[in-house]
Structure 1
Amino acid sequence: MTAPTLSWNDDAPHSDAFGDVYFSREDGRSETEHVFLAANHLPQRFAEWQAPRAFVIGETGFGTGLNMLCAWACFERHAPPGARLHLLSTEKFPLGHTALARALSAWPSLASYSQALCALWPDPVSGVHRLHLSERVTLDLHFGDTTERLEALQGQVDAWFLDGFAPSKNPEMWQPELFAAMAARSRPGATFATFTCAGIVKRGLKAAGFAWQKVPGFGRKREMLAGSIATPPVDNRRQRTPWFTPPPTLRSQHIVVIGAGMAGSSVAAALARRGRQVTVLEREQPGAGGSGNRQGALYVKLAVETNLQSRFYLAGLLYSQRWLGRLAAARPQQPPLWQPCGVVQLALSEKEASRQQRFMAHHPLPETLVAASEAPDALAGVPTAAAQGLFYPQAGWVQPKRLCEQLLQHPGITLHHGEATALHPTPAGWQITLANGDTLAADQVVIATASLANHFAQTAELPLQQVRGQVSELPLPEGTAAPQRVVCAGGYVSPPLEGVLTFGASFVPNDATTHTADADHQRNIDELRQALP
């Protein structure tokens, strides 16, 4: 995406393209608190919030993030301990990291909030970037055109910050389609506030179903607008895909997750973060199956021509990098479970070299995300068999078993050892029968047992295919040169951990065996020799 061209007055940015300021040079924070927090009655609403779901604030125009950080600070001051806040904001011209940090340095009182934001600030890639700012506060950044982003949004907003450059400076944004999208993504009774009283805004809000009134503005602005929408339009988009629509009443205070591998432990942590009580049922130990490898590589292989699948993979890579970094930072005294050393993808054939060249031509992505390299040896730290490759600086490797164990260290999660053999629906939810005859009760059940997920009557028709994958480990003799980054070609190899090199992996569809096979080890060694002679 395109970064804005800025001029600076001390640490206050000014948009050269729109000829407008990002925040008031008089007192930007006081203006935000008057226009957006007070006019939406947020201190009172936060203090009274008792719903199990998060309170949702939507914003048109993230800018420097001042409005969102002030809302976060207000939430921390007023909300009860169990409450959660979900922020979402659109931005077509995201600031670079340096510009963002400089702008927010103008508010020392928000330093702890701005530092958390800057630490997670994503690359300027269009789409949705989810940032977990704290245990209770999540920010979704929707990079792209505001109206397009809101029209695609799945969710409903409780309070709107109708911001952005003034209608006279940026008339393209303040169009009827924007107000219609806001209305369609509002909860009944959702409020809004905006600094402007322009006629195009008043007419657009009214046409979309919002009731507005003029209220005192901030500083030299005599008036501003605030209001609400009583009955938003009905969202019928899911009628075409009803299988995505949850039941209207979903009791889910206690959830049993079957399986404590990567899938089970991560979904358990996500549910616990949302205030649910979770029991994780595991027949062996966390990370016992495929999640028990010494190292796992985090990387992505994108299609030559961009498509929805590749966009999903890319979003997953960026989210995982932030997620793992935050988990690692939460336990600084522990050995790192995540190493963002970067990943080198080698082009070992002319066909792959051509594919990589075409990929780079079709994907104008920042070099902080992916870059072409004609010196893969220097990147890898050892001689390779390729003359070119792609480098993903934000990828790396993780210790899956330790990750599973850390995810389960949440006060809302209980680990229960046992094997589920049957699920029985009850009027109150579900009863899980264990192999030893015991039972567990739950409002909802999550099955996260990989290829064994269809071993229940309710899931027997799932067309799952078992694929055998064997990873190899070799102790390196002292002084042996070893890769400094994850290297991928036909297989992959990680930098050594505690003197052991981990590489692989075999890929054998329709094979459920779990014993180690010499033939698979030899295949892994042959792949390693081909890539790193």
Structure 2
Amino acid sequence: MTLPTFSPIRPANIEWQDNTPVASDYDDPYFSRQDGMAESQYVFLDGNQLTERFQAMGPDQYFVIGETGFGTGLNCLLAAQRFLQQAPQSARLHLVSVEKHPLRRDDLQNALSHWPALVALAETLLNEYPAPTPGLHRLQLHPRISLTLLYGDAEQLWPLFNHPVDAWFLDGFAPACNPDMWQPALFGQLARLSHPGTTLATFTAAGFVRRGLQEAGFKIEKRKGFGHKRHMLTGTRSSASPARQQALPTVVVVGAGLAGATTARALAERGCKVIVADPAGVATQASGNLAGVVYSTPSAHLTPQNRFYQQSYGHALRWLQRHGFPSSPQQGRLNGVIQHFVDDKQKDKLIQAMASGAWPEELLRPAGEEAAELVGGGYLQPAAWCQHLLDHPAITLIQRELAQMHEGEQSRAVFTDGSVIDADAIVLCTAGSTAQLPGLSWLPLKHIRGQVSYCRATEASRQWQQARCHGGYLTPAVNDRHCVGATFNLHNPDPRPTDEDDDENLAQLKTYLPARWQELGGSDIDIVERRVAFRCQSIDFLPLCGPMPVASENPHRPARGLYLNLAHGSRGITGTPLCADLIADLICGCPLPVDQQLVDALAPDRFIVRKRRKQPEWKP
């Protein structure tokens, strides 16, 4: 399959006519001027028999709704409301919707303000509403309802989505106004993602739409339309079938750092029983620094690598907001990160990212002439974040060291104390030490030594509010200490801190932020502590996240029930939430939070595939 080329997203141009939003580019309203809510309920909810199907769901089953035009989100919110009213308490709903031109947040808020019955769900949508960047965006409307927004062209994005859909909302601007969408290619994708029992409903009864859906394999019925519309269409692949059962396995997560804590929480929130094993306890390795920065590396080029950096940044911000972290200045702040230009190359890269539209101003904006601000980023205590995530009734923490693993009907974790745990899946979140486990020495990992210097705050430095990145990074005071760092040494395995590394950190601060260096004490800066940790990074700068390959006659065969989530480098706070959701959805058999292109880019077996095909590595 030819890989799609992702482009910057152009938000919708809205003209308000009375209380109805109208798309200027299509000259078509987003919902019925007569009664938008009633039309959505009649056409999409009743047309797909959602009340009856939600009522018929059993415990722990899940239902997937696909939509071809998100618009104001009205259809999805109504479906979510109906689900909460009718489905069993343990059932789950996954909404998946494409939008080529998403509404700006202010327009969305204005549109949703007309539906007071949806206020709770609408507020959650607005709180989690993503910036207009291409690709998939996972939102959580309710603990049992997820929404995956696909921003971009439907014809490109649906082929990158690979999960069966139970009901389709075939929505969008009218075929006469938006003929590019209502094409056989789209109907073919609907059929590809459908199964026996999948239904669809649409407000239009245009002949070429009806014929196209029939040719794609749907049995189509013409019904009375809503209001002044004479007809609408409903369809099915065959007789209705029940929703699918969600796997709720027992999972062993090895490692209690950022990767392990986020993975455990993602699994627990899906109803899994999770055992987290780490001999040293919570966040004692690279995740144990006093403070870390929530940031990304913007680029104008939307390669898989750069799209992961972008999508994981927005995803991490949604996770932090959803969990109410940080909740105090001592835990950190999410008030933006200032990225100072260290040279012309970096300056040009960031200016190009802003100018291209690939990084909209909701995420990246100028901060004077020699810096840019990553909006919404910030700094936090990684260990406190890990502790917060692991505080869940479905998560058990044990201090044991993994010795080996076995795959079979169940995965078996064998620990150095002789104890054994059988589970449905094992996830290794063990960073650089993963390569020391039996059969995993082949992993293409780099171990990069970093020393951070903890400097005593001064009267002037206690006024600092934002984290700053330059050649290194500088955080506001946490426990009256600033993090200044960090060194970057690939060839030094010594875990002991050195005075020379402290000098390097302070010299870098003096070079790039001389005013801050002076406010911190200048030549009299008081270093009260220092800490060495080893970043784990892959050779292509992306994490290893997915099923673990096994050494066998077929190296592409994943080990049953064994997964990796590691090599997050210096972006652990930012990258781990998205990878955690990917791992959890793979294990539970749910729709994935990233497109297939990113699934492949993160898959641990990509290095085997690349070696065989002699493909070049991605460059940052």
TM-score computed with the length of structure 1 as normaliser? 0.88
CA distance in 2, matches of 1:324, 1:501: 22
Report the CA distance between 1:368 and its aligned residue.
2.1
Q: Which amino acid letter does the alignment assign opposite residue 68 of structure 1?
A: C
Change (3 A) 1:140 1:251: closer
Paired residue secondary structure (1:25): coil
Q: Which residue does 1:156 correspond to in 2?
A: 164
Q: Which amino acid letter does the alignment assign opposite residue 275 of structure 1?
A: G
Given that 1:466 and 1:511 are in contact with CA atoms closer than 8 Å, whether structure 2 keeps it comes out as no
Given that 1:123 and 1:368 are in contact with CA atoms closer than 8 Å, whether structure 2 keeps it comes out as yes
Q: Which amino acid letter does the alignment assign opposite residue 325 of structure 1?
A: Q
Q: Which residue does 1:141 correspond to in 2?
A: 149
Q: Which residue does 2:109 correspond to in 1?
A: 101
Report the CA distance between 1:482 and its aligned residue.
5.2
Q: Which residue does 1:372 correspond to in 2?
A: 366
Given that 1:252 and 1:444 are in contact with CA atoms closer than 8 Å, whether structure 2 keeps it comes out as no
Of 403, 416, 438, which aligns to 2:398?
416
Of 78, 81, 94, which aligns to 1:86?
94
CA distance in 1, matches of 2:222, 2:254: 54
- Please list the CA deviations of residues 372-421 of structure 1 after superposition, one character each: whole Å capped at 9, or x if unmatched: 3435xxxxxxxxxxxx1222112211221111111112222111221122
Report the CA distance between 1:460 and its aligned residue.
3.3
Q: Which amino acid letter does the alignment assign opposite residue 384 of structure 2?
A: R
Of 67, 70, 95, which aligns to 1:62?
70
Give the alignment of 1:295-306 within 5 angstroms. 295-303=291-299, 305-306=301-302
CA distance in 1, matches of 2:495, 2:92: 43
Q: Which amino acid letter does the alignment assign opposite residue 484 of structure 1?
A: Q
Given that 1:287 and 1:401 are in contact with CA atoms closer than 8 Å, whether structure 2 keeps it comes out as yes
Given that 1:470 and 1:521 are in contact with CA atoms closer than 8 Å, whether structure 2 keeps it comes out as yes
Given that 2:298 and 2:359 are in contact with CA atoms closer than 8 Å, whether structure 1 keeps it comes out as no
Report the CA distance between 1:64 and its aligned residue.
0.6
Q: Which amino acid letter does the alignment assign opposite residue 509 of structure 1?
A: L
Of 43, 46, 57, which aligns to 1:49?
57
Paired residue secondary structure (1:33): helix
CA distance in 1, matches of 2:258, 2:358: 32
CA distance in 2, matches of 1:199, 1:472: 70
Report the CA distance between 1:361 and its aligned residue.
4.1
Q: Which residue does 1:256 correspond to in 2?
A: 252
CA distance in 1, matches of 2:372, 2:380: 20
Paired residue secondary structure (1:423): strand
Change (3 A) 1:252 1:24: closer
Change (3 A) 1:362 1:32: closer
Of 333, 336, 344, which aligns to 1:342?
336
Given that 1:325 and 1:338 are in contact with CA atoms closer than 8 Å, whether structure 2 keeps it comes out as no
Q: Which residue does 1:236 correspond to in 2?
A: none
Residue 471, structure 1, aligned to residue 452, structure 2? yes
CA distance in 2, matches of 1:187, 1:335: 50
Q: 5+ unaligned residues in a row in structure 2: which ranges? A: 1-8, 240-244, 515-620
Given that 1:85 and 1:137 are in contact with CA atoms closer than 8 Å, whether structure 2 keeps it comes out as yes
Of 475, 478, 488, which aligns to 1:507?
488
Q: Which residue does 1:394 correspond to in 2?
A: 376
Given that 2:251 and 2:425 are in contact with CA atoms closer than 8 Å, whether structure 1 keeps it comes out as yes
* Structure 1 vs Structure 2 CA RMSD: 2.3
Q: 5+ unaligned residues in a row in structure 1: which ranges? A: 232-248, 376-387
Q: Which residue does 1:166 correspond to in 2?
A: 174
Given that 1:430 and 1:445 are in contact with CA atoms closer than 8 Å, whether structure 2 keeps it comes out as yes
Given that 1:87 and 1:140 are in contact with CA atoms closer than 8 Å, whether structure 2 keeps it comes out as yes
- Please list the CA deviations of residues 316-366 of structure 1 after superposition, one character each: whole Å capped at 9, or x if unmatched: 11111111111116x96x667452221122123344434444444444532
Given that 2:12 and 2:23 are in contact with CA atoms closer than 8 Å, whether structure 1 keeps it comes out as yes
Instruction: Calculate percent identity across the aligned residue pairs.
Output: 39
CA distance in 2, matches of 1:456, 1:479: 48
CA distance in 2, matches of 1:196, 1:514: 67
Q: Which residue does 1:215 correspond to in 2?
A: 223
Moved more, 493-502 or 59-68: 493-502
Given that 2:201 and 2:235 are in contact with CA atoms closer than 8 Å, whether structure 1 keeps it comes out as yes
CA distance in 2, matches of 1:305, 1:10: 40
Given that 1:298 and 1:395 are in contact with CA atoms closer than 8 Å, whether structure 2 keeps it comes out as yes
Moved more, 435-444 or 64-73: 435-444
Report the CA distance between 1:172 and its aligned residue.
1.6
Report the CA distance between 1:465 and its aligned residue.
2.6
Give the alignment of 1:435-446 within 5 angstroms. 435-446=416-427
Of 454, 459, 466, which aligns to 1:485?
466
CA distance in 1, matches of 2:343, 2:25: 46
Q: Which amino acid letter does the alignment assign opposite residue 48 of structure 2?
A: N
Change (3 A) 1:481 1:411: closer
Paired residue secondary structure (1:459): coil
TM-score computed with the length of structure 2 as normaliser? 0.77
Bigger RCO of structures 1 and 2 (CA < 8 A, at least 6 apart):
2
Given that 2:299 and 2:352 are in contact with CA atoms closer than 8 Å, whether structure 1 keeps it comes out as no
Of 274, 283, 299, which aligns to 1:278?
274
CA distance in 2, matches of 1:290, 1:416: 19
Change (3 A) 1:211 1:294: same
Report the CA distance between 1:501 and its aligned residue.
0.6
CA distance in 2, matches of 1:403, 1:267: 13
Residue 115, structure 1, aligned to residue 123, structure 2? yes
CA distance in 1, matches of 2:324, 2:300: 33
Q: Which residue does 2:534 correspond to in 1?
A: none
Residue 323, structure 1, aligned to residue 323, structure 2? no
Paired residue secondary structure (2:229): coil
CA distance in 2, matches of 1:185, 1:137: 20
Paired residue secondary structure (2:197): strand
Q: Which residue does 2:42 correspond to in 1?
A: 34
Paired residue secondary structure (1:514): coil
Change (3 A) 1:219 1:430: same
Q: Which amino acid letter does the alignment assign opposite residue 27 of structure 1?
A: D
Q: Which amino acid letter does the alignment assign opposite residue 520 of structure 1?
A: D
Given that 2:338 and 2:469 are in contact with CA atoms closer than 8 Å, whether structure 1 keeps it comes out as yes
CA distance in 2, matches of 1:51, 1:185: 24
CA distance in 2, matches of 1:397, 1:506: 18
Of 309, 314, 339, which aligns to 2:310?
314
Of 261, 265, 268, which aligns to 1:269?
265
- Please list the CA deviations of residues 274-305 of structure 1 after superposition, one character each: whole Å capped at 9, or x if unmatched: 22111111212211111111111111123454
Report the CA distance between 1:514 and its aligned residue.
2.6
Q: Which amino acid letter does the alignment assign opposite residue 214 of structure 1?
A: K
CA distance in 2, matches of 1:70, 1:421: 50
Change (3 A) 1:206 1:138: same
Change (3 A) 1:50 1:518: farther
Given that 1:304 and 1:362 are in contact with CA atoms closer than 8 Å, whether structure 2 keeps it comes out as yes
Report the CA distance between 1:258 and its aligned residue.
0.7
Q: Which residue does 2:499 correspond to in 1?
A: 518
Given that 2:365 and 2:374 are in contact with CA atoms closer than 8 Å, whether structure 1 keeps it comes out as yes
Given that 1:306 and 1:362 are in contact with CA atoms closer than 8 Å, whether structure 2 keeps it comes out as no
Report the CA distance between 1:15 and its aligned residue.
2.2
Of 210, 222, 232, which aligns to 1:202?
210
Q: Which residue does 1:241 correspond to in 2?
A: none
Change (3 A) 1:195 1:271: same
Given that 2:472 and 2:485 are in contact with CA atoms closer than 8 Å, whether structure 1 keeps it comes out as yes
CA distance in 2, matches of 1:70, 1:25: 17
Q: Which residue does 1:124 correspond to in 2?
A: 132
Q: Which residue does 1:384 correspond to in 2?
A: none
Q: Which amino acid letter does the alignment assign opposite residue 273 of structure 1?
A: E
Paired residue secondary structure (1:470): strand
Report the CA distance between 1:510 and its aligned residue.
4.3
Q: Which residue does 2:11 correspond to in 1?
A: 3
